[in-house]
Amino acid sequence: PDDEFGIEKLRGVSGYTSYEHLMTLVVHSGARAQALEETVVHEYHHHWRIAEAQLLESQETLLSRLVLEGLAEHFVQEVLGVTTAPWATQWTDQESHYWWPVYASHLNLVGSDTSPYMFGSTDMGVPLWAGYAMGYHLIRWFRRQHRTLSWTTLTQLADVEFVPRV
């Protein structure tokens, strides 16, 4: 279809993994193979974490969404050796440290209240895909302190384990 946002911003590939263990991919005919590979690996990790950590959609918080997205993008790096996802890598460490207090004060939000913090909101002054960038950095901070943890362990950890200790 004529989905300019999907083609330009999502590199022609989008994915969704449900809590019912279903993965959906939308692939534009002009999408690059690398974007498809990254999306499949990213969505696969969602599937794995939802199953291993026994996550329930009804209990999904902003923190759980940040962790889910951050882990998935780091898993892409582990499996494919690279991530080019602009939503994950759009912030510097300095920017993520700037935004962390905003996110830290809303970690227990649930349901659709989390969406502006994940996808962005011009009304609230939250940049596009801010939650994906925050999740990426949240996991990055954690992995710097816990370099030897296996992917199985990382995937099974409770969300609260990833919150920085101040």
The string of pLDDT tens digits covering residues 84-121 is 688 888 899 999 999 999 999 999 999 899 999 999 99
125: Cα within 13 Å, side-chain hemisphere: 3
Q: Count structural domains, the chain.
A: 1
The per-residue pLDDT for 10 is: 64
pLDDT score of 1: 47
Residue matched to tokens 């499949």: 40
Q: Are 14 and 26 in contact (CB under 8 A)?
A: yes
CB 141 within 8 A of CB 103: no
Residue segments in the chain with a per-residue pLDDT below the cut of 70:
1-10, 84, 166
97: domain range?
4-162
pTM over the 0.75 mark: yes
Distances in Å between the Cα of 81 and the Cα atoms of 25, 34, 39 are 22, 11, 14
